[in-house]
Amino acid sequence: MAFDYDLFVIGGGSGGVRAARVAASDAGARVGLAEASRYGGTCVIRGCVPKKLMVFASEYAPALADAQAFGWQIEATGFDWPAFRGKLEAELDRLEGIYRKMLAGSGVETFDQRARLADPHTVELADGTRKTARHILIATGGWPVKPEMENADLALTSNEVFHLDALPKSLLIVGGGYIACEFAGIFNGLGTQVTQYYRGAQILRGFDDEARGLVAEEMQQAGVDLHLGTNILGMERDGSGLRVKATNGTERTFDQVLFATGRAPNTAGMGLEEAGVNLGRRGEVMVDEYSQTSVPSVYAIGDVTDRLNLTPVAIREGMAFVETVFRGNPTPVDHASVPTAIFTQPEMGTVGLSEEAAREHGPIEVYCTSFKPMHKGFAGRTDRVLMKLVVCAETRRVLGCHIVAPGAGEMIQLAGIAVKMGATKEDFDRTVAVHPTMSEEIVTMRAPVRTG
C-alpha cells in the first residue's frame, strides 16, 4: 500500500515537533504533523517557558529589598502586570514562530487543525480530510483537570492564568503539586495575597520529605498562607469575587481561584480505542519501552503516555522513536535518575531516589546540611537552604541528591551527571570545593546524619 506519509504526528509540542523534524531532516522521511492549538505545546505556550518568566518577574521584589540591604538606593513603585503580560505574549509568539520555521525548514507538512485516528494507518483531520501514514505518532500531551463540583468552571487552571486582565489582589490556589506551589510563589512575589489549600499532609508528594518540608516552611515564611489537610467544599460567585467554603470550616472570598489539582492525558475523542489502541485508567496511552502501542503502526510519546511528564523526557522519547523506527536501531528510553527542577521559592532540584524510597532498597547513609546562605544572612534574611545526599551503605554509590536553594535547578543539572554515572560518596569527597558557594557543601559533608 502506498502511504501519503512515512510518519504522521498528532501534536505540535516539544516531543512531537522534535520527532517530526528529525525524522524528516535526518532520516529523510515524508512527515506530516497536525496541531489544533499553538506550536510549542504545553511547555512553550502554557507551561515551562511562561511560568519561568513569571518566576523571574516575581523574584525582583525580594531582590530589590536585598539590594537596599547591600547599600543600593532603590525605590520600587510596584509591578506593572499589563506591561509584563504584553512582553510575555510577544515572546511566546516569537517562540511559536521558531517552531513553525523549524518544521517548515525540515520539510514537514503541517496542518493547523485537530486530528484523530481513523484506523491504524489513517488520520482524519477536522475538515474531514484523511491522510495515510506508515507510522503514526501520538504526542498530544496533557490537559489540566478540575474537580467535579458545582461552579468549578468559575475557577482558573494553569492554562488561563497567564492571560489574566489584571493581577488579583487575593488568590486561592487549590492543590499541592509542583504547579500549585510554583504559582503560589509567583503570585506571592508579585504582590497578591496567596492562600493555598492542599488536602494532603505535606505539599510536593513524592519528593524527598526533608526537602519538601523546607520548601513548605520557606513558602510560609515568605507570606503564602498554606493550609494542609484542607480541601474546597463549594464555591459560588460573590460580587466580583468567589466565595469558597473549605473543609476546615472557613468561608472566605477571593478575587480568583486557581485549580492546580492535576493533569490528564489528552486522549478524549481521538478515536484511539476504536482503532485498537489500549488506554490506561487515566486515559493514558499504554506503550512498551520503545513507545509502541498495542497497534504496531501507532506510537506515543510525552505526557500523553503518563510515564515521566517532563519536556526533556518527551524530547528524548521522540529521538528514541526516530532511532527505533527510521534508523533500525531499537532504542528504549532511560527514565531512571532524571534530574528535575521545581521552580518553587525556594527552588528545589532533585535527582535519583528520595531518602524514603532509598530505604526500601536497603541500608543507606544520609548526608545533609541546612544553613543560611551568605548573601541572605548579610541582607538580614532568615532564609535557609538544604543540601542532601542519599548514599547506599554497601556500594557507597550516591542514590539521590536533593537541593533546596536559589539556583537549585542549575546545580542539579551538574549533580545529575555524577549521579547518573554512578559516582560514590568518596568521588564527591575527592572533589575540591568551590568557595565561597552554597554548592560546596555537596562535597564537604563528611559524617552521615542518619543511617539505616
Q: What are the catalytic residues?
A: 435
How far apart CA 121 and CA 276 sit, in angstroms, is 12
Please provide residue 324's backbone torsions phi and psi, each rounded to the nearest 5 degrees: -70, -50
Cα separation, 324 vs 329, in Å, equals: 5
Are the C-beta atoms of 204 and 244 separated by less than 8 Å? no
Residues 6+ positions from 127 with CB-CB distance below 8 Å:
113
d(C-alpha 232, C-alpha 175), whole Å: 10
Q: Which of 307, 296, 263, 342 is nearest to 55 (CA)?
A: 342
DSSP 207-275: S-HHHHHHHHHHHHHHT-EEEET--EEEEEEETTEEEEEETTS-EEEESEEEE---EEES-TTS-TTTT
In sequence order, what DSSP letters do the residues of 427-439 get, joined into one string? HHHHSPPPSS-SG
C-alpha–C-alpha distance, residues 307 and 305, integer Å:
6
Alpha-carbon gap, residue 66 to 116, rounded angstroms = 53
List Cβ neighbours of 75 (8 Å cut-off, separation of 6 or more): none
DSSP label at residue 286: P
